Protein backbone atom coordinates (compact mmCIF):
# COMPACT_ATOMS: atom_id res chain seq x y z
CA UNK A 1 0.00 0.00 0.00
CA UNK A 2 1.54 3.33 -1.03
CA UNK A 3 1.44 6.37 1.25
CA UNK A 4 -1.09 8.04 -1.10
CA UNK A 5 -3.39 5.04 -0.75
CA UNK A 6 -2.87 5.06 2.98
CA UNK A 7 -3.80 8.76 3.02
CA UNK A 8 -6.92 7.86 0.99
CA UNK A 9 -7.82 5.18 3.56
CA UNK A 10 -7.48 7.74 6.37
CA UNK A 11 -9.58 10.30 4.52
CA UNK A 12 -12.32 7.78 3.82
CA UNK A 13 -12.25 6.67 7.45
CA UNK A 14 -12.49 10.27 8.61
CA UNK A 15 -15.38 10.96 6.26
CA UNK A 16 -17.27 8.14 7.99
CA UNK A 17 -16.64 9.48 11.49
CA UNK A 18 -19.55 11.94 11.85
CA UNK A 19 -22.01 9.17 10.91
CA UNK A 20 -20.37 6.65 13.23
CA UNK A 21 -20.28 9.11 16.07
CA UNK A 22 -23.87 10.13 15.39
CA UNK A 23 -24.98 6.52 15.51
CA UNK A 24 -23.05 6.06 18.76
CA UNK A 25 -20.85 3.46 17.07
CA UNK A 26 -17.62 5.12 18.11
CA UNK A 27 -18.44 5.94 21.68
CA UNK A 28 -18.92 3.15 24.21
CA UNK A 29 -20.71 5.49 26.61
CA UNK A 30 -23.41 6.11 23.98
CA UNK A 31 -22.77 9.85 24.17
CA UNK A 32 -23.79 11.81 21.08
CA UNK A 33 -21.61 14.63 19.77
CA UNK A 34 -22.76 17.91 18.32
CA UNK A 35 -21.49 19.29 14.99
CA UNK A 36 -19.53 21.94 16.93
CA UNK A 37 -17.78 19.28 18.96
CA UNK A 38 -16.97 17.38 15.82
CA UNK A 39 -15.67 20.52 14.11
CA UNK A 40 -13.43 21.16 17.13
CA UNK A 41 -12.07 17.64 16.87
CA UNK A 42 -8.57 17.12 15.59
CA UNK A 43 -7.74 13.98 13.68
CA UNK A 44 -4.26 12.97 14.55
CA UNK A 45 -4.11 10.90 11.41
CA UNK A 46 -1.88 8.40 13.14
CA UNK A 47 -2.22 5.22 11.24
CA UNK A 48 -0.75 1.82 11.36
CA UNK A 49 -1.21 -0.91 8.87
CA UNK A 50 -1.17 -4.59 9.18
CA UNK A 51 -0.21 -6.75 6.26
CA UNK A 52 -1.96 -10.07 6.08
CA UNK A 53 -0.42 -12.49 3.66
CA UNK A 54 -2.25 -12.21 0.37
CA UNK A 55 -4.96 -9.94 1.79
CA UNK A 56 -5.39 -6.20 1.40
CA UNK A 57 -3.97 -4.41 4.49
CA UNK A 58 -6.24 -3.27 7.29
CA UNK A 59 -5.70 0.27 8.53
CA UNK A 60 -6.39 1.90 11.87
CA UNK A 61 -7.06 5.57 12.14
CA UNK A 62 -6.51 7.26 15.49
CA UNK A 63 -8.85 10.18 16.11
CA UNK A 64 -8.83 12.83 18.76
CA UNK A 65 -11.66 15.26 19.36
CA UNK A 66 -12.73 17.66 22.09
CA UNK A 67 -15.77 16.53 24.07
CA UNK A 68 -17.36 18.04 27.16
CA UNK A 69 -14.87 16.11 29.29
CA UNK A 70 -11.78 17.32 27.42
CA UNK A 71 -10.02 15.59 24.59
CA UNK A 72 -11.16 12.11 23.77
CA UNK A 73 -9.53 9.52 21.64
CA UNK A 74 -10.82 6.64 19.59
CA UNK A 75 -9.24 4.24 17.19
CA UNK A 76 -11.19 3.57 14.05
CA UNK A 77 -10.40 0.41 12.18
CA UNK A 78 -10.93 0.51 8.44
CA UNK A 79 -11.60 -2.72 6.60
CA UNK A 80 -9.85 -3.42 3.32
CA UNK A 81 -12.02 -2.57 0.34
CA UNK A 82 -13.85 -5.88 -0.29
CA UNK A 83 -13.84 -5.20 -4.04
CA UNK A 84 -10.03 -5.21 -3.91
CA UNK A 85 -9.94 -8.40 -1.87
CA UNK A 86 -12.55 -10.37 -3.87
CA UNK A 87 -12.74 -9.99 -7.65
CA UNK A 88 -16.26 -8.89 -8.64
CA UNK A 89 -17.46 -10.55 -11.85
CA UNK A 90 -18.32 -7.54 -14.01
CA UNK A 91 -20.27 -7.98 -17.24
CA UNK A 92 -21.86 -5.84 -19.98
CA UNK A 93 -25.31 -4.52 -19.20
CA UNK A 94 -27.28 -3.79 -22.38
CA UNK A 95 -29.74 -1.55 -20.52
CA UNK A 96 -26.98 0.99 -19.81
CA UNK A 97 -25.78 1.26 -23.45
CA UNK A 98 -26.17 4.80 -24.86
CA UNK A 99 -28.18 3.30 -27.75
CA UNK A 100 -30.75 2.08 -25.24
CA UNK A 101 -30.65 5.27 -23.15
CA UNK A 102 -31.09 7.44 -26.25
CA UNK A 103 -34.01 5.28 -27.45
CA UNK A 104 -35.72 5.46 -24.04
CA UNK A 105 -35.17 9.23 -23.86
CA UNK A 106 -36.62 9.68 -27.36
CA UNK A 107 -39.69 7.63 -26.41
CA UNK A 108 -40.14 10.00 -23.46
CA UNK A 109 -40.12 13.03 -25.77
CA UNK A 110 -36.51 14.17 -25.17
CA UNK A 111 -33.84 14.88 -27.78
CA UNK A 112 -30.82 13.00 -26.45
CA UNK A 113 -27.22 13.65 -27.59
CA UNK A 114 -26.09 11.63 -30.64
CA UNK A 115 -24.70 8.27 -29.56
CA UNK A 116 -21.92 8.35 -32.19
CA UNK A 117 -20.55 11.64 -30.77
CA UNK A 118 -21.08 11.58 -27.02
CA UNK A 119 -19.24 11.54 -23.68
CA UNK A 120 -20.19 8.71 -21.34
CA UNK A 121 -19.28 8.36 -17.65
CA UNK A 122 -19.67 5.13 -15.73
CA UNK A 123 -19.55 5.56 -11.95
CA UNK A 124 -18.38 2.42 -10.09
CA UNK A 125 -17.21 0.91 -13.36
CA UNK A 126 -15.35 -1.96 -11.65
CA UNK A 127 -13.01 -3.61 -14.15
CA UNK A 128 -14.66 -1.87 -17.11
CA UNK A 129 -16.50 -4.96 -18.36
CA UNK A 130 -19.49 -2.77 -19.23
CA UNK A 131 -17.67 0.33 -20.48
CA UNK A 132 -14.86 -1.20 -22.56
CA UNK A 133 -17.15 -3.08 -25.01
CA UNK A 134 -19.14 0.14 -25.56
CA UNK A 135 -15.95 2.07 -26.28
CA UNK A 136 -14.87 -0.64 -28.72
CA UNK A 137 -18.22 -0.52 -30.52
CA UNK A 138 -18.46 3.31 -30.73
CA UNK A 139 -14.93 4.55 -31.50
CA UNK A 140 -16.12 8.13 -32.21
CA UNK A 141 -17.41 8.66 -28.65
CA UNK A 142 -15.49 9.08 -25.39
CA UNK A 143 -15.89 6.80 -22.38
CA UNK A 144 -14.72 7.52 -18.82
CA UNK A 145 -15.08 5.30 -15.76
CA UNK A 146 -14.03 5.41 -12.15
CA UNK A 147 -14.29 3.12 -9.15
CA UNK A 148 -13.20 3.27 -5.52
CA UNK A 149 -11.48 -0.12 -5.75
CA UNK A 150 -7.98 -0.01 -7.21
CA UNK A 151 -7.40 -3.59 -8.35
CA UNK A 152 -10.44 -3.95 -10.66
CA UNK A 153 -9.56 -0.59 -12.24
CA UNK A 154 -6.00 -1.77 -12.87
CA UNK A 155 -7.32 -4.95 -14.50
CA UNK A 156 -9.53 -2.82 -16.77
CA UNK A 157 -6.62 -0.50 -17.63
CA UNK A 158 -4.56 -3.52 -18.71
CA UNK A 159 -7.42 -4.73 -20.91
CA UNK A 160 -7.72 -1.28 -22.54
CA UNK A 161 -3.98 -1.26 -23.26
CA UNK A 162 -4.13 -4.77 -24.75
CA UNK A 163 -7.00 -3.71 -27.04
CA UNK A 164 -5.22 -0.46 -27.96
CA UNK A 165 -8.36 1.61 -27.30
CA UNK A 166 -7.83 5.38 -27.20
CA UNK A 167 -11.40 6.51 -26.45
CA UNK A 168 -11.78 4.99 -22.98
CA UNK A 169 -10.02 5.57 -19.66
CA UNK A 170 -10.55 4.18 -16.18
CA UNK A 171 -9.20 5.49 -12.93
CA UNK A 172 -9.56 5.01 -9.18
CA UNK A 173 -11.66 7.64 -7.44
CA UNK A 174 -14.19 8.00 -4.64
CA UNK A 175 -17.61 9.28 -5.71
CA UNK A 176 -17.32 11.78 -2.85
CA UNK A 177 -14.40 13.41 -4.65
CA UNK A 178 -15.97 13.58 -8.12
CA UNK A 179 -16.33 17.17 -9.30
CA UNK A 180 -16.50 19.58 -12.22
CA UNK A 181 -12.93 18.78 -13.31
CA UNK A 182 -14.27 15.58 -14.91
CA UNK A 183 -16.21 17.74 -17.37
CA UNK A 184 -19.78 17.34 -18.57
CA UNK A 185 -21.26 14.08 -19.78
CA UNK A 186 -24.06 13.23 -22.20
CA UNK A 187 -24.72 9.91 -20.50
CA UNK A 188 -23.97 8.98 -16.87
CA UNK A 189 -24.30 5.36 -15.74
CA UNK A 190 -24.34 4.13 -12.12
CA UNK A 191 -25.41 0.50 -12.00
CA UNK A 192 -25.21 -1.63 -8.84
CA UNK A 193 -24.19 1.42 -6.85
CA UNK A 194 -27.00 3.52 -5.32
CA UNK A 195 -28.38 0.73 -3.12
CA UNK A 196 -24.88 -0.35 -2.07
CA UNK A 197 -23.42 2.91 -0.75
CA UNK A 198 -24.09 5.08 2.33
CA UNK A 199 -26.35 8.15 2.26
CA UNK A 200 -23.63 10.83 1.74
CA UNK A 201 -22.36 8.95 -1.34
CA UNK A 202 -25.89 8.67 -2.75
CA UNK A 203 -26.40 12.38 -2.25
CA UNK A 204 -23.11 13.16 -4.00
CA UNK A 205 -24.10 10.92 -6.92
CA UNK A 206 -27.38 12.78 -7.43
CA UNK A 207 -25.73 16.19 -6.98
CA UNK A 208 -22.97 15.24 -9.44
CA UNK A 209 -25.57 14.21 -12.03
CA UNK A 210 -27.39 17.49 -11.69
CA UNK A 211 -24.12 19.44 -11.97
CA UNK A 212 -22.35 17.51 -14.72
CA UNK A 213 -25.07 16.05 -16.94
CA UNK A 214 -25.34 17.87 -20.29
CA UNK A 215 -28.55 19.72 -21.15
CA UNK A 216 -30.33 16.86 -22.89
CA UNK A 217 -28.21 14.22 -21.19
CA UNK A 218 -29.49 11.00 -19.65
CA UNK A 219 -28.49 9.44 -16.31
CA UNK A 220 -29.07 5.75 -15.64
CA UNK A 221 -29.15 5.07 -11.88
CA UNK A 222 -30.30 1.60 -10.90
CA UNK A 223 -31.33 0.64 -7.36
CA UNK A 224 -32.89 -2.24 -5.45
CA UNK A 225 -36.50 -1.73 -4.44
CA UNK A 226 -38.96 -3.55 -2.22
CA UNK A 227 -40.81 -5.84 -2.35
CA UNK A 228 -38.67 -7.49 -5.08
CA UNK A 229 -35.52 -6.70 -3.09
CA UNK A 230 -36.64 -9.07 -0.30
CA UNK A 231 -35.31 -12.07 -2.25
CA UNK A 232 -31.79 -10.62 -2.45
CA UNK A 233 -32.00 -9.25 1.08
CA UNK A 234 -32.95 -12.72 2.42
CA UNK A 235 -29.84 -14.29 0.87
CA UNK A 236 -27.69 -11.42 2.13
CA UNK A 237 -29.05 -11.81 5.66
CA UNK A 238 -28.34 -15.55 5.67
CA UNK A 239 -24.83 -15.07 4.30
CA UNK A 240 -24.06 -12.37 6.89
CA UNK A 241 -25.34 -14.65 9.64
CA UNK A 242 -23.27 -17.59 8.40
CA UNK A 243 -20.08 -15.55 8.14
CA UNK A 244 -20.41 -13.51 11.34
CA UNK A 245 -17.09 -12.51 12.91
CA UNK A 246 -14.96 -13.52 9.92
CA UNK A 247 -12.66 -10.69 8.83
CA UNK A 248 -11.01 -12.06 5.72
CA UNK A 249 -13.33 -11.12 2.80
CA UNK A 250 -12.64 -14.27 0.75
CA UNK A 251 -13.28 -16.53 3.72
CA UNK A 252 -16.36 -14.46 4.58
CA UNK A 253 -17.84 -15.14 1.11
CA UNK A 254 -16.93 -18.84 1.31
CA UNK A 255 -18.56 -19.25 4.75
CA UNK A 256 -21.62 -17.29 3.61
CA UNK A 257 -22.03 -19.65 0.65
CA UNK A 258 -21.48 -22.70 2.89
CA UNK A 259 -24.30 -21.49 5.10
CA UNK A 260 -26.63 -21.09 2.10
CA UNK A 261 -25.74 -24.63 0.98
CA UNK A 262 -26.50 -25.92 4.48
CA UNK A 263 -29.91 -24.23 4.44
CA UNK A 264 -30.75 -25.74 1.03
CA UNK A 265 -29.48 -29.21 1.99
CA UNK A 266 -31.41 -29.31 5.25
CA UNK A 267 -34.72 -28.17 3.75
CA UNK A 268 -37.28 -30.94 3.36
CA UNK A 269 -37.57 -32.01 -0.31
CA UNK A 270 -41.08 -30.53 -0.52
CA UNK A 271 -39.78 -27.03 0.46
CA UNK A 272 -37.05 -26.80 -2.19
C1 LIG B 1 -21.98 -4.05 -6.63
S2 LIG B 1 -20.50 -3.42 -7.39
C3 LIG B 1 -21.11 -2.98 -8.97
C4 LIG B 1 -20.02 -2.85 -10.00
C5 LIG B 1 -20.51 -2.55 -11.44
N6 LIG B 1 -21.09 -1.23 -11.53
C7 LIG B 1 -21.48 -3.61 -11.88
O8 LIG B 1 -22.68 -3.33 -11.97
O9 LIG B 1 -21.05 -4.73 -12.14
C10 LIG B 1 -20.32 -1.87 -6.52
C11 LIG B 1 -19.11 -1.07 -6.99
O12 LIG B 1 -19.18 0.22 -6.36
C13 LIG B 1 -17.85 0.62 -6.06
N14 LIG B 1 -17.91 1.69 -5.04
C15 LIG B 1 -18.36 1.58 -3.77
N16 LIG B 1 -18.28 2.79 -3.16
C17 LIG B 1 -17.77 3.65 -4.06
C18 LIG B 1 -17.45 5.05 -4.03
N19 LIG B 1 -17.64 5.77 -2.92
N20 LIG B 1 -16.95 5.62 -5.14
C21 LIG B 1 -16.75 4.90 -6.28
N22 LIG B 1 -17.03 3.57 -6.36
C23 LIG B 1 -17.53 2.96 -5.28
C24 LIG B 1 -17.21 -0.66 -5.57
O25 LIG B 1 -15.80 -0.58 -5.56
C26 LIG B 1 -17.77 -1.66 -6.57
O27 LIG B 1 -16.93 -1.79 -7.70
| Between residues 3 and 184, the one the model is more confident about | 184
User: Considering the chain, what is the average pLDDT of its residues?
Assistant: 81
Ligand 1 pocket, 16 CB below 6 A? Answer: no
Q: Residue 113 pLDDT more than 70?
A: yes
**Which stretches of 179-248 are DSSP H helices?**
199-212, 229-242
Q: Residue 85 pLDDT more than 50?
A: yes
| Between residues 63 and 164, the one the model is more confident about | 164
What are the two backbone dihedrals, phi and then psi, of residue 2, each rounded to the nearest 5 degrees? -80, 165
Ligand 1 geometric centre to CA of 80 (Å): 14
Consecutive H or E run containing 216: strand 213-221
pLDDT at 6: 56
Q: What percent of the chain has pLDDT over 90?
A: 61
Residue 60: name the closest of 79, 76, 73 by CA: 76
Q: Which whole number is the average pLDDT over 220-225?
A: 95
Ligand 1 pocket, 83 CB below 6 A? Answer: yes
Residues 6+ apart with CB under 8 A from 86: 249, 250, 253
Instruction: Please state the atom number of ligand 1 nearest to the C-alpha of residue 152.
Output: 27
Q: Which of 56, 82, 84, 148 to mutate to test the pocket of ligand 1 (most atoms within 8 A of CB)?
A: 148
Ligand 1 pocket, 121 CB below 6 A? Answer: no
Average the pLDDT over each of 78-82, 132-136, 138-142 and give the range with the smallest value: 78-82
Residues 6+ apart with CB under 8 A from 219: 187, 188, 189, 190, 209, 213
Per-residue CA distances from 110 to 75, 117, 271 (Å): 51, 17, 49
Q: Which whole number is the average pLDDT over 24-43?
A: 43
Q: Residue 127 pLDDT more than 70?
A: yes
Question: If pLDDT is split at 50, 70 and 90, which confidence band does 71 have?
Answer: low
Q: Which of 85, 147, 170 to mutate to test the pocket of ligand 1 (most atoms within 8 A of CB)?
A: 147
Residues 6+ apart with CB under 8 A from 11: none
pLDDT at 243: 94
Atom 9 of ligand 1: nearest residue by CA position? 90
Ligand 1 geometric centre to CA of 125 (Å): 7
Q: Residue 253 pLDDT more than 70?
A: yes
pLDDT at 81: 74
Q: Which of 126, 188, 199, 253 to mutate to test the pocket of ligand 1 (most atoms within 8 A of CB)?
A: 126
Q: Which whole number is the average pLDDT over 2-24?
A: 59
pLDDT at 17: 59
Q: Which of 79, 144, 146, 193 to mutate to test the pocket of ligand 1 (most atoms within 8 A of CB)?
A: 193
- CA dist 46 and 51 (Å) reads 17
Ligand 1 geometric centre to CA of 231 (Å): 21
Ligand 1 pocket, 86 CB below 6 A? Answer: no
Tens-digit pLDDT profile for residues 189-211: 999 999 999 999 999 999 999 99
Ligand 1 pocket, 131 CB below 6 A? Answer: no
Instruction: Please state the atom number of ligand 1 nearest to the C-alpha of residue 176.
Output: 19
Per-residue CA distances from 7 to 4, 75, 230 (Å): 5, 16, 38
Q: Residue 245 pLDDT more than 70?
A: yes
pLDDT at 183: 98
pLDDT at 97: 98
Q: Residue 178 pLDDT more than 90?
A: yes
What's the pTM value of the predicted model, to 2 decimals?
Answer: 0.75
Per-residue CA distances from 121 to 48, 69, 211 (Å): 35, 48, 13
| Between residues 25 and 90, the one the model is more confident about | 90
Amino acid sequence: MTSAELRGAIDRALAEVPRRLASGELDGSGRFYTDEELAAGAATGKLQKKEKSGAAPTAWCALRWRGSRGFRRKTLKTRPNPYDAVAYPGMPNAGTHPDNLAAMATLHGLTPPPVERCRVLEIACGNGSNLIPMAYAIPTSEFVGFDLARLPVERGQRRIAELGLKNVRLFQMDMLEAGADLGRFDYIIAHGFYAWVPEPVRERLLAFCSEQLAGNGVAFISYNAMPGGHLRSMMRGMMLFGSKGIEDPEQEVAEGLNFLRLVVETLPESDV
